[in-house]
Amino acid sequence: MDDFKTDMEINATKLESHFLPSVFSTIRHHLHDYANKYIRNINNNNIRNISDEEFQAIKTLRNNKEIIISRADKGNAIVVMDKKDYIEKANNILQLKHFQHTTKSLQKEKEEEMNKYLRE
């Protein structure tokens, strides 16, 4: 962003010789204001990098309560699944023998084991 502001200042300086000082001062003031507004918009993420149609499609998908949108297990991808299928798959995974119900948290115990191992 600093480069953008610097470029604006350099280009404004190039215009200075073509205007009366009072007119140039007004132009420079407006350029400064517009540059700051532009930078604020970028910093606030008000500028989208997708088309209006793509934005509307994403909004429609996000508002659909019958689907789940999540990251894929592998790769850099997004998965869209029917919510019922997603819940069924999650329940099937939880019923595998890899998971067990417990009444106490094992986090403290595991943390102490890890610290002991690291000290050795």
Cα distance between residue 102 and residue 105, in whole Å: 7
For residue 30, tell me if it sits in a domain: yes
Three-class SS of residue 73?
coil
CA angle 79, 83, 84 (to 5 degrees): 130
Cα distance between residue 92 and residue 96, in whole Å: 7
For residue 15, tell me if it sits in a domain: yes
For residue 112, tell me if it sits in a domain: no
| pLDDT score recorded for residue 47 | 66
pTM of the model: 0.42
User: Is the confidence at residue 87, as pLDDT, over 90?
Assistant: yes
Query: What residues make up the domain containing 31?
Result: 2-43
Q: What is the per-residue pLDDT across 12-63, written as a single tens digit (0 to 9) for each?
A: 788 778 888 888 888 888 888 888 888 787 777 666 788 989 999 999 999 9
The answer to whether residues 68 and 36 belong to one domain is no
The answer to whether residues 97 and 60 belong to one domain is yes
Q: How many structural domains compose the chain?
A: 2
The answer to whether residues 6 and 34 belong to one domain is yes
Reading the block at residue 88, the tokens are: 């069924």
User: Is the confidence at residue 2, as pLDDT, over 70?
Assistant: no
CB atoms within 10 A of CB 77: 8
Predicted confidence band of residue 82 (pLDDT cuts 50, 70, 90): very high
